[in-house]
Copies of this chain bind each other. A is one copy, B any other.
Amino acid sequence: MSTGNQGPISVTNSSINHSAVECTESLRGVQDALYVLSGKWKLPIIITLTGQPRRFKELQRQIAGITAKVLSKELKELEMNEFVVRNVYATTPVTIEYELTEYSQSLNTVIEALRNWGIQHRERIIGQHKTV
């Protein structure tokens, strides 16, 4: 698939999911979702694009530490997954703007879930270290 996710990992567990097929589909679904958000810079790029479109160099300036090579690669992946569109305007010289798609909004619920769980988890783990 165009997300670049690899072939299936086989784990057979018929006790929670009712069939091996369902189990495999679930696993693949979770792994696909994790895959599209993987990498150090996907989230920072999405956050930076939230609200307003940005040009390439603008993005690079906003996101401290990212190199042009990596930004370029990540933007292509985000485009492939239809989170971002690349708009070319025929100004001289051409202006290129990256913009979040409507579809990218569909990530919101999963990002919210990750966020809430992550914040809670950090507190839990750090809290325990303090008591030791």
Which residues of chain A have a CB within 8 Å of any CB of chain B? 1-3, 9-13, 15-16, 23, 25-34, 36-38, 40-41, 43-44, 47-48, 50-52, 62-65, 81-82, 103, 106-107, 109-111, 113-122, 124-126, 129
Given contacts A9-B40, A40-B9, contact A115 B33 (CB under 8 A): yes
Q: Which residues of B contact A110 (CB under 8 A)?
A: 110, 113-114, 117
What is the copy number of this chain in the assembly?
A: 2
A interface: dominant SS:
helix
Complex Cα spacing A49 to B31, Å = 18
Q: Which residues of B contact A30 (CB under 8 A)?
A: 37, 43, 111, 114-115, 118
Complex Cα spacing A7 to B34, Å = 20
Beta-carbon contact of A121 and B37 below 8 Å: no
Beta-carbon contact of A23 and B47 below 8 Å: yes
Beta-carbon contact of B26 and A64 below 8 Å: no
Complex Cα spacing A41 to B120, Å = 23
Q: Which residues of B contact A121 (CB under 8 A)?
A: 3, 32-33, 36, 81
Q: Which residues of B contact A33 (CB under 8 A)?
A: 114-115, 117-118, 121
Complex Cα spacing A51 to B48, Å = 42
Beta-carbon contact of B29 and A119 below 8 Å: yes
Q: Which residues of B contact A12 (CB under 8 A)?
A: 62
